[in-house]
Chains A and B, each alone.
Chain A
């Protein structure tokens, strides 16, 4: 049983025009097995929340705390956070020229598990995970995210999540840019990991359509750098009908 607790998190970013405050006190707790949907308009700070928890150096935490099972996440380096059990599926996965997917996956898994995976079982493990995400095994020999389509990048993110077995995963608009089939395949991947591992999920999304496949236990409305309303799945239906206007007019 794991627990990610975000308390009164305040984050700013330094721009050419000066310091810009983005997160204005976010409170959120995600436990193993739970799925939290974070829904909000573009520019409200959802990705900033995700990046801040993962430790992106561009974002400065100016107040509040983030803990995973009592350990201070904000004190950890980026890789330590991943080793502690956090995973971020990025909205815009980064291309890494010259580094093959297979080398990347093996290096990451070795770092997270603390030992190199056994050659025999490893190849099978990767193949099976790729097959279930409908990814051609030829992807192993390609460079990380280089020349991948939007959908392929998102599948590759979920592939990593399957292999790295995190405790809590943050999925930042994993649904955006996916056609219906890809959305179903990716969602099934997340559900498979959940049923195998009691994963806690923070599902950041702009639209409700992914919630047909990934049933949230909690829905949070995010606007202007904080959570402005929280409820159960029914809140998503309300958003579907009414949009975010009521939350952004202020």
Chain B
């Protein structure tokens, strides 16, 4: 009987705290304020630092969602290659087909280089100048490991015959 009363009182007390003091509230208050103030904006889709400005993404996009915009100051990335423009992605036109992501030589759209799921994986820090001079090479054992899962082995064969 004692125990029963204790359970009832404890339950009533914790419900009181929940209702009147919003204790244990799981709703994200930061998000709530952001939404009520209209501050929610789409995540940036272009890694502007990593992009080398080749314009390929704008060419492959089937819906014309990407426009190349001129940089205020262009930048020499390597001898004979200057980065003069970067893409601007219109979210309302984009159908998220990821053609641009797959096409981009540095995977500068929709997140980090070569992620499995390319959408929204955070900030990206690279030095493009260094990478153009000396690209990242995948090690031999990694390639062998990946090759178990490939149906098309031509890449591997070509690599061996070189």
Q: A and B: real partners?
A: no
The chain A residues found within 8 Å of chain B, CB to CB, are none
